[in-house]
Amino acid sequence: MIELPTEKLVDPLLSFSFFVEVNNIIEAGFTSCSGMSAKRETMPVQEGGVNDMVYTLPGRISYGNITLKHGIALSDKLWKWFEEGYAYGMVTYRDDVSIIQAIPFRPQGTHWVRRYHLKGAFPIAWTGPNLETSSTEVAVESLELSIQKFTLEFNKPNTSLLPI
Integer Cα distance of 88 and 35 in angstroms: 28
Contact in structure between 158 and 86 (CB atoms under 8 Å)? no
List the beta bridge partners of residue 4: none
The values of phi and psi at residue 131, to 5°, are: -85, 125
Rounded Cα distance between 52 and 41, Å, is: 22
In eight-state DSSP terms, residue 1 is: -
The pLDDT tens digits along the chain (164 residues) read 334 344 444 455 555 688 898 888 888 889 889 999 999 999 999 998 888 999 999 999 999 999 999 888 888 888 888 888 777 777 767 889 999 988 765 555 567 788 999 999 999 998 887 777 666 555 778 999 999 999 999 887 655 444 44
Domain residue ranges in the chain: 15-36+59-154
Query: In angstroms, rounded to a whole number, what is the distance separating the alpha carbons of residues 112 and 162?
Result: 6
How far apart CA 25 and CA 19 sit, in angstroms, is 10
Position 117 scores a pLDDT of 96
* 136: CB partners within 8 A, 6+ apart: none
Cα distances (Å, whole numbers) of residue 143 to 40, 72, 108, 154: 25, 11, 30, 24
The dotted CATH code for 15-36+59-154 is 2.30.110.20
- DSSP 8-state assignment for residue 10: P
Return the pLDDT at 7.
45
Helical residues (DSSP H) of the chain, grouped into ranges = 77-87
pLDDT of residue 77: 87
Query: Of how many residues is the chain composed?
Result: 164
**Residue type (1 letter), 115:** R
